[in-house]
Structure 1
Amino acid sequence: MRSLFGNLHPPSGFSPFSGQAPGRPARGHGVGWFLLCVLAGALQAASLAWPLTAWVPPGLAAGQPSGGLQIVSLALLVLALRHAWRVRQAVWRAWVFATAWLAGTFWWLFISMHTYGGLPAPLAALAVLALAGFLALYYAVAAGVLCRWAPYGRWRQGLLFAALWTLAELLRGTWFTGFPWGAGGYAQVEALGVWAPWVGVYGMGFLSAGLAYALAVPFSARTAAAASGAGRSGGFSLKAAAAFCGLVVLVMAPRMLGTGAQNTESTGALRAWLLQGNIAQDEKFEAGTGIAQALTWYPAQFAEAQRAAPAQRPQLVVAPETALPLLPAQLEPAFWEALLTPPDGATGPQPGWLAGLPLGSLDAGYTNSVWGIAPDRAERARRLLADTGRSDLLQAQPPAVGFYRYDKHHLVPFGEFIPPLFRWFTDLMNIPLGDFGRGALPQAPWGWAGQRLAPNICYEDLFGEELAAAFQDPATAPTVLVNVSNIGWFGDSVAIDQHLQISRLRAMELGRPMLRATNTGATAAIDHTGRVVAQLPRLTRDRLDVTVEGRSGLTLYARWASRWGLWPLWIGCLGLALAALLWPTRARRPRAGA
C-alpha cells in the first residue's frame, strides 16, 4: 500500500494525512510515538522561555523565547500525526502533546495551590494536569478534524493544519473566560516579531504552524518510505525544500524589505520610577509583616520621589498590584494625610502616582483596582480628610476627590471569581479568594505628564484584543501602557520570564511602550518595539528609574482589533480551512507501482 502522496482514491477509512493503510499500524511500537509527543510538548513549553539556568543548550538563553525551538517541536507533532494510521490515534497524540506542553507551561500553578494555598501536593499536581488535559482537548479535536478530512495537496494540508491549530488557540484564549497563557506565538517574539503589529500573537502562531508543517513534510515522507520498504523514494525532495524556503522568505519578507505596520509617532519622554516591593507572598496580607512592610516602603518611595532634585525627580511613580493591600476605609485618615502631603523640602512640580489597591465595600462589592493620584487631586483629598475625618470618602461615588480609577476587567478564575460548581475546590485552599466586580471595557486612560496612561492588572495583558479596545479613537488612544502585577503566588519560577515576553508582544502589537511594576518581577520598561530597555533583578526590593517615549498613531493590529476584536482571525481561519477542504483539485495519475 502506497503512502498517501501517490494515492488518488484511497480505500475507505484511509486518512490522507496518514502514511499508513487502515488497520495496519506504523512500524515501531506505539510507546515510541507517545514519548515523542511528550518530548515535543515539553520542548514547546520550553520554547516560550527556557526554564533551566543550570543547563542551557547552544543557541538558547535562560528565560528567553526561541522561535526555532517552537517550530521544531510543533513539527515533531506533525510528524507523529502524519504517521497515525487511525483518526483516534491522531487525536490521542495531539492530546498528549498539548497536555505535556500546557502542563509544562503553567506548572507553576502548583506553587500557588500547594505552597501558598495549602492544597496537598498530589491534589495540586492533579489539578494542574486536569486543567492542561482539559485545554488540550481543543488541539485533539483539531488533529481529529485534520486527519479525518485532510485534502491530498500538501500545501492544502499545511494550510488546513495552520488554520485548525490557530482556531484551537483562539478557542483556548476565549472560551470559559479564556486562558491563552503559553500560546505558541509568544515564542516568536524575536523570530516573527515583525508580524506582531500586523496580525498579533495568534497570526504569528498561524505562521509558525505553517512553517512547522513545511519542515515536517520531508521527514515524514522519508520515514513513510522507510516503513513501506520503498528505499530512498519518498525522501527529501527538491520541491519540498523549495516550498519550505519559499514559506520562510514569505514569513520574513517584512523584515527583509524593511517594512512594518507601526505607523506611530513620539509624544515625548516620560520619566518613571517602577517599584518592586518583593514582599513575601505568604506574608503579604499579614498585619504584622507584609502589610506593615507595604504601608511603610511604598509611601517612603513616593515621599523620596517628591524630595528628589528636579533633574532627578520622576514624573510618575508606579507601584504594583495591591501595593496597598487594604481598603481605603481600613486605613486611618492619618495614613492618607501623610501619604498625600508633600514632605518638607519638596518644591517644584510633583510626580503623579499609580498604585494598585482593592476598592469597594461589603454592600457595593469589591474591585481589584488602580488609583492615579495627581498633586491637585491629592490636595483636594487632604481637605476632604481634614473636614470629615473619613477615609472611606476617598472612593465615594460620584468621586469626591477625583482620583483616576481603573478597575480590572478580565478576572482570574478561582483567584478573583469562583466559577459555578467549584466552591468546594476553593474551600480546600488557604488563599484569600473572592468574587470581585468586573470593570468596564474599555476604560479611559489617565491623562498625566503629557501622556495618556492605560493601566492593566496582572494577566490582563494576555488579552491583546481587550487592550486594543481603547484604541478605537486615535485622538484618545493610550500613549503608554502600564502593567501592575503580583505573581509572587508562583515563586521564583519561569512564570516571571513568560509574563515579560507576553508584555513585550503587547507592546509590539499596539506600538506602545509598556511599564511593568511588579511585586517580585519582572519589573521592567519595554519600548514600543518590544525591546526591554531596563529591568530589575527578580526577588529584590528596589526601584527602577527609567525614561520611555510615549507614542501616538495606530498599528494595523490596533486598527482592526479595536473595531472587531478577534473576529477577523476567526473568519480568516475558518475560511482558509474550508478553502483547503473544498477547493477542487485536478486528478493525478497514480505513479507506476502504486
Structure 2
Amino acid sequence: MAPPRLAGAPAPCRGPLSWLLALAAGLAQAASLAWPGPGGMKGQPLWWLQILSLALLARVLLAAGGARRGALLSWLFATAWLAGTFWWLFISMHTYGGLAAPLAVLAVLGLAVFLGSYYAAASALFWTLRPYNRSSAAIVFAALWLLAELARGQWWTGFPWGAGGYAHTDGPLAVLARWLGVYGMGLAAALLAMGLAQWRRADLRRPRWWAGAAVLVLAWACLAAQRHCAIEGCGAPAPQHAPLSLALLQGNIPQDEKFQPGSGVPMALQWYHDQLRAADAALVVAPETAIPLLPQQLAPGYLDAIAERYGKGAQALLLGIPLGSLEQGYTNSVLGFAPDGRRPYRYDKHHLVPFGEFIPPFFRWFTDMMNIPLGDFDRGALDQPSLAWAGERIAPNICYEDLFGEELGARFRDPQSSPTIMANLSNIGWFGDTVAIDQHLAISRLRALEFERPMVRATNTGATAVIDHRGRVSHRLPSYQRGVLHARVQGRDGAVTPYAWWVSRLGLAPLWALGLGVAAWAWLLRRKT
C-alpha cells in the first residue's frame, strides 16, 4: 500500500524529470551563493535564488512519493549544490598539491556525497513523519533542514562552507543575523521555501493566507526597525570610537612559489620587510603566513628588526607567521607588536583545516600523496584574548576560522572584554582566482552582521577588505594584485547582539534543541494518527 501523500503534495512524479529538477535546483543553490556580478565581480549572493532553488527541491520532495526516493532526490540536490560550491578544492589538491586530476575530482565529489548524506537523511525523516497540515509540513521541513546544516557544520570538525544563510547577507533575512546567526537565517529560508512549494493560486482567496502574510511582513518590519535602532542609536548616541587608520597588506605571492626557498620565500620576506618598514597607519595587518618560515629559519635579526620597528612610535602590527619548531610542533599563528613595553601578542589558530593543517586519523596515506608544506599544526585555545591597542580590542582569526561564528562568539561572553574589531588573516591562494575569494568575503560579512562589529581582512591574494559593523564592504583591493589597502575602521563597543550573548554561553545547543524538539513533536503527532 502506497504511503499517504504529504500536505500540499502534487501528484507523484517518478520520471527522469524529477532527477533533472533536483540536479538543476542544486546547481542553482550553489550559484545563489556567488553569482557572477557586474564590473568583474565574481560572486554576489542572490537571496531570492537561494529560496527559489530550495523551493524547487521542496516541490520535488513533496512529489517523491516515498522516503527512499525523497532521500535520493535530496542527496542529488545536495551533492550538486556542495560540489558546485567548493569545486575549487580541486585546484588546491591537483594544481598545488600535486594529486592526480582523477583522484582530485573523486575527492571533491566524495566530500560532497558524504556531506550531502545529512540532507538525504533529513528528507527521508521528513517523509517518514509525513505531516498532513501544510503549516506543520513547512515547520518540520525547516527544522530538519536546520539539523542537517548543523550536522554539516559541526560533525567531523565541521565544514559548513556554502550554508544557505550566506546567500542572505544583502537580503531581507539579514535582520535575523543579530538574533539567530547564519543557521537561523537558513532555517527561515527553508520555512519560506517549503511554504512557497506548497502555495496554490486558491490561497489568494483565503483571508487566512493574507493574515499570515501580514504577520510575516509586520514581524520583519519590527526586526528591521529594532536592528536599525541597535546600530544607529535612534535618539540615544551609539558608542563611538575614533576611526583607526589601517594598512592591510596583500603580497600576492604565487601559491606554487610561496614556500619555495629559491623564489617565493625570498620574494615574500623582501616585500613584507619593505612594506612593514614603510607602513604609515595606526594598525598594520599582514596575512596568514606572510612570513612563510619558522622564526629560527629566518635570517638573524629579521624578526627582531620588526619588533623594534613597532616597539616604539604609534603603530601596531598583526603579522601572520608559523611559530614553534619542526621537532616539538608548530602553530599557525599571529604575532602582534605594539609600543607598550609588553611581550609580543600571540594568537594561535584554533580551528584547523583537515588535510591542509592536520591529518585526520587513518588518512595519512591521502596527505602523503600531496605536497603540502607545514601540514600538521598544533591547535590553539578556543577563547584567546584580543590585542588591546589605541582604545580597541582587536580579535584576530585565521583563514576559515571565521566560518565558525559559534567559536568566534566565545570571545563575546564578557561585554567589557569583547572584541571591538575583528581581523581575518587569510591565504586562500590555494584555490586560485575563483569564487572562493568572494564566498569567503561573504562569510566575513555575515560574521560582522551577527556580532555588529567591523571585520578587517588582510589576505595573500584576496579579498583584502574592510567590512563595517553593518556587514557592508567599505574598502577592497582588487584580487590577485600586489598592494596595500589604506583605509579607516571604526570600532564598536557596548552591548553585544542577542546572538553573541546566547552563542557565547550555549554554543549552538539552542538551535539543536529547536530542531530536535520540532522533530520530536512531529513524531508524537504522527503516532497519534
What is the TM-score when the length of structure 1 is the normalising length?
A: 0.83
2:395 match: secondary structure: strand
Distance, in Å, in 2 between the alignment partners of 1:584 and 1:18 is 17
1:229-240 matches, within 5 Å, as: 238=206
* Structure 2 letter corresponding to 1:139: Y
Q: Mark the CA change 1:573 to 1:416 in structure 2 (over 3 Å): closer, same or farther.
A: same
Q: Mark the CA change 1:576 to 1:251 in structure 2 (over 3 Å): closer, same or farther.
A: farther
Paired residues in the alignment total: 521
The structure with the largest alpha-carbon Rg is: 1
Identical positions, percent: 56
- Residue 282 of structure 2 corresponds to 315
1:151 match: secondary structure: coil
Give the CA deviation at 1:337.
4.0
List per-residue Cα deviations over 1:350-372 (Å, max 9, x = no partner).
31110100001134311000000
Distance, in Å, in 1 between the alignment partners of 2:227 and 2:100 is 53
- Residue 157 of structure 1 corresponds to 137
Distance, in Å, in 1 between the alignment partners of 2:111 and 2:212 is 35
* Structure 2 letter corresponding to 1:108: W
Distance, in Å, in 2 between the alignment partners of 1:125 and 1:585 is 44
Pick one of 266, 270, 278 that aligns with 1:296.
270
* Structure 2 letter corresponding to 1:252: W
- Residue 253 of structure 2 corresponds to 279
Give the CA deviation at 1:584.
9.0
Contact 2:75 2:117 in 1 (8 A): yes
Pick one of 337, 356, 360 that aligns with 1:373.
337
* Structure 2 letter corresponding to 1:14: P
1:288 match: secondary structure: coil
Distance, in Å, in 2 between the alignment partners of 1:586 and 1:362 is 62
Structure 1 position 167 matched with structure 2 position 147: yes
1:3-22 matches, within 5 Å, as: 13-17=3-7, 19=9
List per-residue Cα deviations over 1:191-246 (Å, max 9, x = no partner).
11111111100000011111101111126xx8xxxxxxxxxxx7876468537734
Give the CA deviation at 1:579.
3.0
Q: Mark the CA change 1:484 to 1:109 in structure 2 (over 3 Å): closer, same or farther.
A: same
Distance, in Å, in 2 between the alignment partners of 1:300 and 1:100 is 45
Distance, in Å, in 1 between the alignment partners of 2:240 and 2:525 is 47
Distance, in Å, in 1 between the alignment partners of 2:208 and 2:152 is 32
Q: Mark the CA change 1:513 to 1:207 in structure 2 (over 3 Å): closer, same or farther.
A: same
1:339-350 matches, within 5 Å, as: 339-342=306-309, 349-350=313-314
Distance, in Å, in 1 between the alignment partners of 2:357 and 2:422 is 22
- Residue 330 of structure 1 corresponds to 297
- Residue 213 of structure 2 corresponds to 245
Structure 1 position 68 matched with structure 2 position 42: no
Structure 1 position 136 matched with structure 2 position 116: yes
Q: Mark the CA change 1:247 to 1:206 in structure 2 (over 3 Å): closer, same or farther.
A: farther
Give the CA deviation at 1:530.
0.3
Distance, in Å, in 2 between the alignment partners of 1:374 and 1:259 is 35
* Structure 2 letter corresponding to 1:545: H
CA RMSD of aligned residues (A): 2.5
Contact 1:465 1:561 in 2 (8 A): yes
Structure 1: segments with no counterpart, 5+ residues: 1-10, 223-233, 306-312, 378-400, 588-594
- Residue 120 of structure 1 corresponds to 100
Contact 2:3 2:65 in 1 (8 A): no
Structure 1 position 49 matched with structure 2 position 23: no
Structure 1 position 450 matched with structure 2 position 391: yes
Pick one of 1, 4, 21 that aligns with 1:36.
21
Pick one of 279, 302, 316 that aligns with 1:352.
316
- Residue 267 of structure 1 corresponds to 241
- Residue 163 of structure 2 corresponds to 183
Structure 2: segments with no counterpart, 5+ residues: none
Give the CA deviation at 1:336.
2.8
Contact 1:113 1:429 in 2 (8 A): yes
1:287 match: secondary structure: coil
Distance, in Å, in 2 between the alignment partners of 1:76 and 1:133 is 20
* Structure 2 letter corresponding to 1:316: L
